Amino acid sequence: MKELVIRIPLFSLFLLFTIYAYAKQPEIPFPDGVKVTIVGEDIVVNGMPLMAYEFHSRASLEDTAQFYKDYWQEKVSDSDVEHPFLEVEFFGWHMLSRLEEGYNITVQLQEDGIQGVRVLVGMSPLPTMLKKKIKPVIEYNIIQSSGFTVESFVQSTDAGKVSETYWIASRFNVDKASLKIREYYQSRSYSVDVKPFREASSPRLFASLITVHNNQEDIRFDVKKINNETVIVAVRRVK
């Protein structure tokens, strides 16, 4: 049985959208036997909704992540895209992201010594859930260029380090989107590394991993072709 606890937040997961209405929220699953801390639930802070949870698991990181992957795979028909989730690794965090019912659900997992695996779970509304006449002012610290559209943005602070997760759609194919990202950051004096993944029967990319950094931040872009569309998950970490 899961146990719910409310206490002062250890981290803040700010879901940077003003929600007009919750017609239907997706269910957030938790493994059996874990003690779930409600960091923030249906709370508005400075006009921004906050829904965030934390727990520790005695299961391995792989098994805990697999719990969410299996759960979402079984409910693939509820996903807003045909792919049930996206998965990335960044600075010691294993991260899963899923679009469902107009929301982005993020799960961040990290080994935490004798306490087991630390898991941060958050949920943010996508722009389609916003009241059309409301135009929230959000500062995106990510590529700002024609052909890239930020569909979801989650910011978190953990141990004094700020990180941001972006779900980005692009009208370009993987090749061109990767080139645009590389040129954008190289022109701003970032160090850029690109790892391409090509189809066996074609010179075209089906995915790429791009890492960029300077003395202030590190950013990882996972650029993927999913159902003939280019989807990008970007994770930014302030040094």
Range with lowest mean pLDDT among 4-13, 201-210, 227-236: 4-13
Domain count, the chain: 2
Range of the domain at 78: 1-135
| One domain for residues 166 and 221 | yes
Distance CA 57, CA 198 (A): 37
Range with lowest mean pLDDT among 114-118, 134-138, 173-177, 210-214: 134-138
Which of the four pLDDT bands, split at 50, 70 and 90, describes residue 179? very high
Instruction: Residue 138: name the closest of 123, 160, 154 by CA.
Output: 154
pTM of the model: 0.56
146 pLDDT more than 80: yes
Q: Kindly report the CATH number assigned to the domain that includes residue 66.
A: 3.30.310
| One domain for residues 157 and 86 | no
Number of residues that this document lists for the chain: 239
3-state SS of 101-137 is CCEEEEEEEEECHHHCEEEEEEEEECHHHCCCCCCCC
Give the pLDDT score at 63.
Answer: 95
Q: Which of 135, 153, 170 is the last residue of a domain?
A: 135
144 pLDDT more than 80: yes
| One domain for residues 86 and 47 | yes
Q: Kindly report the CATH number assigned to the domain that includes residue 148.
A: 3.30.160
The predicted-structure confidence for 75-125, as pLDDT tens digits, reads as follows: 888 887 777 888 888 767 888 888 888 777 889 898 988 989 999 888 876
Average pLDDT over every residue of 51-74:
91
Q: What percent of the chain has pLDDT over 70?
A: 75
| One domain for residues 59 and 117 | yes
Q: Which of 135, 164, 195 is the last residue of a domain?
A: 135
Instruction: Confirm if 104 and 152 have CB atoms less than 8 A apart.
Output: yes
Distance CA 28, CA 152 (A): 17
| One domain for residues 175 and 68 | no
Q: Which of 109, 135, 161 is the last residue of a domain?
A: 135
Give the pLDDT score at 9.
Answer: 35
b/e 174-184 (16+ beta carbons within 10 angstroms → b) = bbebbebbbeb
| One domain for residues 152 and 121 | no
